[in-house]
Amino acid sequence: MTSSSRLECVQGDIVQQDDMDAVVNAANAELRPGGGVAGALHRAAGPELDRACRPLAPIAPGQAVVTDAFDLPNQYVIHCLGPVYGVDSPADELLAACYYNALRLGEWEKVDSIAFPSISTGAFRYPVTEAARIALSTVTQHLPDFPRIKRVRFVLFDAATTELYQRTLASFNEA
Ligand code: AR6
């Protein structure tokens, strides 16, 4: 099975990925609810998620930790801290580390499927064209190392970001 046959980019909401074993949180260092993806996941998971996160915090940029998903329709939440663009450096390596470490944790937990949001491209202001290239190249490059993970889905919130991710993925497949 090739990396590209295991990878898709769709428009949607990260809290509604009923058919995925794990969802990834674009977390803050303290693993608190916050806004964006983190706020949505904590609201949908319920207060137990916040309680489960506390002993694991703080985390560093590029790091990933895993908890149960509580009231979400998934088994696990993998929390990643992306780089704040212009503050944490090297930003590209830290962003790539998020995706790599999330896949590594997923493989360790024996998950079959993982859904990612576009880490760092909201409140953390990472330019989305560059972030999409890093996200998709990291996952494409490393999926062969993680054979248990059969499906990876990027869940993008708006149509423009979805098209950008789809175009970026297609450009890799043409190369
Ligand atoms: N489903 C999918 N994508 C979403 C959703 C959703 N429900 N909500 C937002 N996005 P962000 P970051 C998109 O800000 O940049 C939080 O306050 C959004 O449009 O969630 O890593 C945390 O507490 C954007 O494209 O994550 C942290 O402090 C992308 O997801 C901080 O933001 C990421 O946006 C993390 O910032």
Q: What is the CA radius of gyration of the chain?
A: 15
Q: Locate the domains of the chain by residue range.
A: 6-174
> Is the pLDDT reported for residue 5 higher than 90?
no
pLDDT digits (tens, 9 = 90+) for 77-121: 999 999 999 999 999 999 999 999 999 999 999 999 999 999 999
Residue 175 Cα to ligand 1 midpoint, Å, equals 30
Residue 158 Cα to ligand 1 midpoint, Å, equals 12
DSSP string, 65-133: EEEE-TTSSSSEEEEE-PPPTTTSSSHHHHHHHHHHHHHHHHHHTT-SEEEE--TTSSTT---HHHHHH
Helix axes 128-142, 159-174, angle to 10 degrees: 50
CB of 35 sitting under 6 A from ligand 1? yes
3-state secondary structure of 32: coil
The backbone torsions φ and ψ at residue 5, rounded to the nearest 5 degrees and listed phi first, read -75, -10
Atom of ligand 1 nearest to the CA of 81: 21
Residues contacting residue 69 through CB under 8 Å, at least 6 positions apart:
22, 23, 45, 49, 75, 76, 77
> Is the pLDDT reported for residue 2 higher than 70?
no
Residue with tokens 């207060």: 47
* Mean pLDDT value across residues 48-68: 98
Q: Which of 37, 74, 155 is the pocket-test mutation for ligand 1 (most atoms within 8 Å of CB)?
A: 37
* Mean pLDDT value across residues 68-81: 98
Written as six digits, the tokens of 55 are 């002993």
pTM: 0.98
> What span, in angstroms and rounded, lies between the C-alpha atoms of 6 and 38?
25
Domain 6-174 = CATH 3.40.220.10: yes
pLDDT digits (tens, 9 = 90+) for 127-143: 999 999 999 999 999 99
> What span, in angstroms and rounded, lies between the C-alpha atoms of 134 and 148?
22
CA-proximal residue: ligand 1, atom 16 (nearest): 35
